[in-house]
């Protein structure tokens, strides 16, 4: 009986010794949970805001300038992502009429904007002409074609003349108007090759698939493969205006309004001027 009691006491003493040894070995006390940590609470409250994506339907001739403007704007507005839908202004107008998502429309012709205003898709108080451009005649760089004016296009050496599709491409509309006033539109029908937008017209001339073409001055300046052969008389076609307007169906009215306002800023307009545009009178 005494041996049993002694053995029990000895085992109890051994347990106490082992517990004391564990505490003296430097075992760290339990840490508070992350939920209770002030630092964890601060991290949770610093979560970034949800990014807003805006769709900008813009004339193809605005491509280079708007991409540069977007890079600057997105750096200044971390929660904004600008997605561009570039194309012929007439085609973009039709897309908006059919309900395609768009927050802002930037046209290469006042007519397309007016049509959307008349149909109640853009508020007249939220649209404005911002830029001007001019129509030029281009030929391949280093080529042998001599065409400095529209009358030269009748020469046998010119087999193809690239023009934007007049019904949907404003540059094509202006070109047709200038050629009609020069009494050459019908005479050149067997030479005319139509492009889906002004950038395709530029490509036709760059590749040599057309010996001449009608584009905006700003498009011609983007390419080292073409040269401006002549400037089309501005009296022979309507002024090339670029209005921008907020689409009524936008779900991001404030963010779209902020970008619309930025497009009118000196910072943005300077970029357009760099790419060859002129600023419309205020």
pLDDT at 29: 44
- In the chain, the N- to C-terminal Cα span, in Å, equals 111
Quote the DSSP letter at residue 169: -
For the beta carbon of residue 206, count every other beta carbon within 10 angstroms.
18
255 contact partners, CB below 8 Å, separation of at least 6: 52, 54, 80, 103
Q: Which of 203, 195, 204 is nearest to 167 (CA)?
A: 195
Rounded Cα distance between 146 and 164, Å, is 21
Q: Is 89 flagged in the annotation as binding?
A: yes
Q: From CA 116, how far away is CA 112, in angstroms rounded? A: 7
Ligand-binding annotation for 163, yes or no, is: no
Other C-beta atoms closer than 10 Å to the C-beta of 2 total: 6
- The pair of structure tokens assigned to 273 is 């001027």
**Cβ 131 vs Cβ 242: under 8 Å:** yes
Domains of the chain, by residue range, sit at 52-132+241-279, 135-231
Instruction: Return the CATH architecture of domain 135-231.
Output: 3-Layer(aba) Sandwich (3.40)
pLDDT in tens for each of the 282 residues of the chain? Answer: 444 444 444 444 444 444 444 444 444 444 444 444 444 444 444 555 789 999 999 999 999 999 999 999 999 999 999 999 999 999 999 999 999 999 999 999 999 999 999 999 999 999 999 999 999 999 999 877 778 899 999 999 999 999 999 999 999 999 999 999 999 999 999 999 999 999 999 999 999 999 999 999 999 999 999 999 999 999 999 999 999 999 999 999 999 999 999 999 999 999 999 999 999 987
pLDDT value at position 148? Answer: 87
pTM: 0.79
Which pLDDT score is estimated for 48?
56
Tell me whether residue 61 is annotated as binding: yes
33 is in an annotated binding site: no
Q: Is the Cα dihedral 105, 106, 111, 113 positive or negative? A: positive
Within 10 A of 92 (CB to CB), how many other CB atoms are there?
26
- In a 13 Å sphere around the CA of 280, the CA atoms on its Cβ side amount to 18
Cα–Cα distance for residue pair 79/248, rounded to 1 Å: 22
CA–CA dist 168, 101 (Å, integer) = 19
Q: Which residues contact 209 (CB under 8 A, 6 or more apart)?
A: 160, 162, 193
User: How much is the pLDDT for 282?
Assistant: 77
Task: Tell me what pLDDT residue 202 has.
Answer: 97
- CA 90 to CA 110: how far, in whole Å? 11
Structure confidence at residue 41 (pLDDT)? 45
Homologous superfamily of 52-132+241-279: Periplasmic binding protein-like II (3.40.190.10)
Residue pair 220/202 in contact by the 8 Å Cβ criterion: yes
Q: What span, in angstroms and rounded, lies between the C-alpha atoms of 156 and 162?
A: 16
Tokens of 91: 């085609």
Of the candidates 112, 57, 66, 113, the residue with the CA atom closest to the CA atom of residue 85: 57
């Amino acid at each position: 009986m005494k041996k049993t009691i002694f053995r029990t006491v000895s085992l109890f003493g051994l347990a106490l010794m082992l517990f004391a040894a564990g505490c003296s070995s430097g075992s760290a006390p339990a840490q508070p949970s992350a939920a209770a940590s002030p630092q964890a609470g601060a991290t949770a409250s610093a979560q970034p805001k949800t990014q807003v994506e805006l769709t900008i339907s813009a004339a193809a001739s605005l491509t280079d300038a708007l991409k540069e403007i977007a890079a600057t704007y997105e750096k200044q507005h971390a929660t904004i992502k600008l997605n561009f839908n570039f194309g012929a202004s007439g085609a973009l107008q039709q897309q908006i009429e059919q309900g395609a998502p768009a927050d802002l429309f930037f046209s290469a012709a006042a007519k397309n904007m007016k049509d959307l205003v008349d149909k109640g898709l853009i508020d007249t108080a939220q649209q404005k002409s911002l830029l001007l451009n001019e129509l030029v005649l281009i030929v391949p760089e280093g080529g042998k074609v001599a065409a400095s004016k529209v009358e030269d296009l009748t020469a046998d050496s010119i087999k193809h003349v690239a023009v934007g599709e007049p019904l949907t491409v404003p540059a094509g509309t202006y070109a047709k108007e200038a050629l009609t006033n020069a009494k050459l539109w019908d005479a050149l029908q067997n030479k005319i090759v139509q492009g889906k937008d002004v950038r395709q017209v530029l490509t036709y001339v760059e590749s040599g698939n057309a010996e001449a073409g009608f584009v905006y001055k700003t498009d011609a300046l983007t390419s080292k493969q073409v040269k401006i052969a002549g400037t089309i008389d501005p009296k022979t076609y309507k002024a090339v205006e670029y209005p921008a307007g907020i689409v009524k169906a936008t779900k991001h009215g404030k963010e779209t309004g902020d970008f619309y306002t930025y497009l009118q800023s000196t910072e943005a307009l300077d970029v357009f001027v760099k790419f060859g545009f002129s600023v419309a009178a205020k």
